[in-house]
Structure 1
C-alpha cells in the first residue's frame, strides 16, 4: 500500500471516529432535548381523557348497523378523541376511522395493548388496564386523546428528521475529510516523490542531481540532507576517479622503470651492477610506500589500527626531530626555528606522534621553503598539549584549505606537486582522531600555512 494511501486512510479513519463520536453525542443531546420538551408540554390526562359515562350516555338508546357507523358517530360527538373498535373473536386486529393509521392488538397480563402505526414514524404503543366500553357481545371500544398520538408522531418524525440530518452531515463531512486528507497527503508527500525521483537519478549515475530547497520544515531538512549527500557522493566519485588516475600513474611509473631496466640488463644494454640495482630498489621502495600509505589509511579509517601509548617526553621527541631536519634546512636556505617547552611529558603513542609531525615538517619544507622560515612550537598548559608547525610560504586558498584533508587531494594545480599521492594529511588526521586529538589547518594565500595538533584532557 502506498504511503499516500496509508496517510489518507489514517486521517480519514481519525476524522470518521471524531464525527461518529459527534453523531452519538448529538443523538444523545437530541433525546434529552425531546425529553425536556415532553416534560414541558405534557398533556394532563385529567383534562384530556374522556369519561366513560359520557360515552355511555352518548350511545344510550342508539343502534348502529356496523362498527364504522359507531365510530363515525363517536368521532363526530367527541372529535378530540381517537376511538378504537375491536372484535374479541379477532386476535390481533382492531379498527379506527383514520385511514392513515394501522392498529395491532396484543393481549398482555396487565390488560390490552395497542400498537398504532403511522407511515414514516415509529409505532405508538398504548395500554389499557381494562375495556373502556362494551358495545355488544364480542365488541369492545377503546379511546384516547388524539393530542397524545399527534405529539408522539410529531416527536418521532422530528427525531427521525434530526437523525437523518445528522447522518447526512456525517457522510458529507466524512467525504470532505477524506478529500482534504488526500489533498493534504499530496501536498506533504509530493516532495518525497521528487526525492524518490532524485534518488533514482543518483542511482543512474547523475551525481549532479539537486533539489530546490523551498521549505523550512522537516521535509526541507530532508531535502537539504539529500543535497549534502549528493554533493558528498559527487565529490567522493571525483576523488575515486582521481585516485584511479593517480594510482595508475604512481604505480605505473616505477613498475615500468623496473621492467625497462631489467629488460635492458637482460639484453646487455645496461650492466648488472650495484648502481642499477640501487635504482630498482628505490623504485620498489616507492611502490611499497604507496601500498603502505593505502593500507595505513584503510586501518585508521576503520579504527582497526592498534596504538601503543606510553609515557613520552614530548619535548625530547620534538628536539630529536629538529636535528634530523637541520641539514635539509641549510641545504634549502630555510631558517628552522623552534619554541619547545621543556619537560613536557604525556601518555601518547610516540611513533604515531612522530609520524604526524614528520609529515607536517616535510610538507612545510616542500611547500613553504620559499618563505624562508619553518617553525616548530610545543606548548603544554592546563592539561592541553599543542604542537604547531608553521611556514611562511605560498599558503593556500580557502577552497584548498577545505580540501587538504580529503584523501587523494593534491594542490598540484598551484604548487606543481607531482611527488605526492595526497594521502599524508588524511592519514595524519585519522591518526590524530585515533589518539583523541585534533589536527587543524589555517592558511592565507602568500602568507604561509599553520598546522596544529591538539591533545586535550591528557591522562
Structure 2
C-alpha cells in the first residue's frame, strides 16, 4: 500500500472516529440535560396561575405606605408569584421585591414589556397586554408564577452547562487527535530517522551500512534506493582503490622501463640504437594509450563526446575490419567465421562502431582463442540491427559476467595480454549508449562468450 493511501486512510479514520465520538457524546449530554430539565419543569400551571380576583380580594380595605410594602404583603400572601409594581406616570420607576433580580420596562405597541435579569444568565422577557391590577392613584401591578422565571433561568444555566460540556469534549478530543497525529508521524518518520542515521554513517565512511526495514510503500522504495546507493558507493570506492593500484602499476611499469633504459644508455651499458629506441617508443605508446582511454571514458560518461554520423555501408565496414584479423587467426590456429548480411546501409558514426567491434574482436582473441573459433555476425533480429562477436573459449562465471562492464575489471588473465587495464568494455558500452544502442554480454563457463551490439532506431 502506498504511503499516500496509508496517510489518507489514517486521517479519514481519525476524523471519522473523532467526529463520531464528539457527535455521540454531545448527543448523550444534550439528552441527559434536557431530560433533567423536563423532569424539573413538570409543573402544573393550573395551580401556579393566580386569578385577578384573588389579588383584588387580598388588597381590598388595605392601605400601604409604599410600593415596597404592597409588594411585601403580596409576596407573603402569594409566595409562588413574582409581583412587579410600576408607576403609571414614569417608565423608569419599576420595582420588584427580589434583591437578586433587576428589571427594565419598555412600552410597546401591544402593551407592557419587562426584561428581568439574573446575574450570569440571559434576560427573561415577559409581556402583558395591560396591567393586571391598578392601584389608586397611579400604581399598576403585574405578576407571573415564579416557577416560569426559575425554569427560564435554569434553562439558561443548563444551556451554558451543555456548552461547557461540548467545549470540554472538544478539548479532550483535540488532545486525542494531537496524540494520534504524533503517533502517526512517529510511525511514518521513524524509517526516515533511521535513513538519516544511515546517511551519517555513510558520510563517516561506513560504506557497508544497509537498512533491513521491509516495507512496500514510498518509504520502502526510498530505503531500497538508499541500499542500492550504498552498494554502488561501496563498489565505486573499491573500484577507486583498485583503479589507483592498477594505474600505479600500469603507468609505473613502462615509465620505470623507459627510465632504466635511458640510464643504461647514459652509462654506456646499452647501446643507443633503433632496437632500444623501439622498446622505449612502445612503452610510451602504452602510457599514451592508457591516458587516451581514460580521457575517452571520461568524455563518454559525461556525454561530451561528439558523434559524427554519416551514411555508411555497415556490411562493407565489418568485412574490411575482419580482414585485419586474418593473419592473426592463421598464426594462432583460430577459425574466423563471418556471417554478415549484405547491403546493410545505415546512418551512424562509423568510426565509433568500428572502435567497438575492434575492441570486441581483440577480447575474443585474448580470452576466447582457446575455443578455436571467433565469429562476427551482422543481422536483423526483431526489428533490431545486431552486431555479434562470439567465441568458444573459457567463458565467464555469473559473477564475472555481472562485472565485465565495470571500469578496471579484468575477468581473467591471458598469456596474450600483458597490458590490459580493463577500460575497453566500459568505453564500448558508453559509446553504444551515446549512439542509442545497447551492448550486452552472455556467457557460460567453458562454452565461450557472446557480445551483442543492438541498434533499434537506425535508418
Q: 1:293 — aligned with what?
A: 293
Deviation at 1:104, TM superposition (A): 2.8
Q: 1:96 — aligned with what?
A: 97
Could you say if the C-alpha distance between residues 220 and 154 of structure 1 is closer, same or farther in structure 2, counting changes exceeding 3 Å?
A: same
Instruction: Point out where structure 2 has 5 or more consecutive residues left out of the alignment.
Output: 1-6
Deviation at 1:174, TM superposition (A): 0.7
- Contact 2:91 2:105 (C-alpha < 8 Å) held by counterparts: no
Deviation string, structure 1 residues 46-86 (Cα, Å, up to 9, x no partner)? 99765545433331112346656533543455455321245
Matched pairs, number: 438
C-alpha distance in 1 between matches for 2:369 and 2:266: 43
Deviation string, structure 1 residues 161-204 (Cα, Å, up to 9, x no partner)? 21111000001001111111112111211111111111011111
Q: Does 1:406 align with 2:406?
A: yes
C-alpha distance in 2 between matches for 1:156 and 1:319: 105
Q: 2:152 — aligned with what?
A: 152
Deviation string, structure 1 residues 297-355 (Cα, Å, up to 9, x no partner)? 11111111111111211111111122111111111111111111122211121111111
Report the TM-score when normalising by structure 2. 0.84
Deviation string, structure 1 residues 201-222 (Cα, Å, up to 9, x no partner)? 1111111111112222221111
**Secondary structure at the residue paired with 1:94?**
strand
Q: 2:141 — aligned with what?
A: 141
Could you say if the C-alpha distance between residues 203 and 429 of structure 1 is closer, same or farther in structure 2, counting changes exceeding 3 Å?
A: same
- Correspondence list, 1:186-201, <5 A: 186-201=186-201
- Contact 1:335 1:373 (C-alpha < 8 Å) held by counterparts: yes
Deviation string, structure 1 residues 133-153 (Cα, Å, up to 9, x no partner)? 444567543212334323322
Q: 1:272 — aligned with what?
A: 272
Q: Does 1:204 align with 2:204?
A: yes
C-alpha distance in 2 between matches for 1:48 and 1:417: 122
Deviation string, structure 1 residues 402-421 (Cα, Å, up to 9, x no partner)? 11111111224799965211
- Contact 2:310 2:347 (C-alpha < 8 Å) held by counterparts: yes
- Contact 1:375 1:390 (C-alpha < 8 Å) held by counterparts: yes
Deviation at 1:118, TM superposition (A): 3.7
- Contact 1:344 1:380 (C-alpha < 8 Å) held by counterparts: no
- Contact 1:134 1:140 (C-alpha < 8 Å) held by counterparts: yes
Could you say if the C-alpha distance between residues 179 and 414 of structure 1 is closer, same or farther in structure 2, counting changes exceeding 3 Å?
A: farther
C-alpha distance in 1 between matches for 2:448 and 2:65: 132
- Correspondence list, 1:250-269, <5 A: 250-269=250-269
Could you say if the C-alpha distance between residues 413 and 226 of structure 1 is closer, same or farther in structure 2, counting changes exceeding 3 Å?
A: farther
- Correspondence list, 1:34-45, <5 A: none
Q: Does 1:183 align with 2:180?
A: no
- Contact 1:81 1:146 (C-alpha < 8 Å) held by counterparts: yes
Deviation string, structure 1 residues 395-449 (Cα, Å, up to 9, x no partner)? 1111111111111112247999652111100111111111111111000111110
**Secondary structure at the residue paired with 1:208?**
coil
**Secondary structure at the residue paired with 1:380?**
strand
Could you say if the C-alpha distance between residues 371 and 302 of structure 1 is closer, same or farther in structure 2, counting changes exceeding 3 Å?
A: same
C-alpha distance in 1 between matches for 2:406 and 2:449: 17
Q: 1:4 — aligned with what?
A: none
**Secondary structure at the residue paired with 1:442?**
strand
Deviation at 1:92, TM superposition (A): 6.8
Could you say if the C-alpha distance between residues 413 and 337 of structure 1 is closer, same or farther in structure 2, counting changes exceeding 3 Å?
A: closer
Deviation at 1:122, TM superposition (A): 2.4
Q: 1:302 — aligned with what?
A: 302
- Contact 1:297 1:430 (C-alpha < 8 Å) held by counterparts: yes
Could you say if the C-alpha distance between residues 46 and 416 of structure 1 is closer, same or farther in structure 2, counting changes exceeding 3 Å?
A: farther
Could you say if the C-alpha distance between residues 366 and 131 of structure 1 is closer, same or farther in structure 2, counting changes exceeding 3 Å?
A: same
Q: 1:431 — aligned with what?
A: 431
- Contact 1:412 1:418 (C-alpha < 8 Å) held by counterparts: no
RMSD of Structure 2 on Structure 1 (CA): 3.6
Q: 2:345 — aligned with what?
A: 345
- Contact 1:105 1:112 (C-alpha < 8 Å) held by counterparts: no
Could you say if the C-alpha distance between residues 274 and 416 of structure 1 is closer, same or farther in structure 2, counting changes exceeding 3 Å?
A: closer
Deviation at 1:109, TM superposition (A): 6.0
C-alpha distance in 1 between matches for 2:218 and 2:273: 71
C-alpha distance in 1 between matches for 2:415 and 2:237: 24
C-alpha distance in 1 between matches for 2:160 and 2:254: 98
C-alpha distance in 2 between matches for 1:330 and 1:350: 27
- Contact 2:114 2:127 (C-alpha < 8 Å) held by counterparts: yes
**Secondary structure at the residue paired with 2:245?**
helix
Q: 1:3 — aligned with what?
A: none
Which deviates more, 52-61 or 446-455?
52-61
Which deviates more, 43-52 or 228-237?
43-52
C-alpha distance in 2 between matches for 1:349 and 1:146: 107
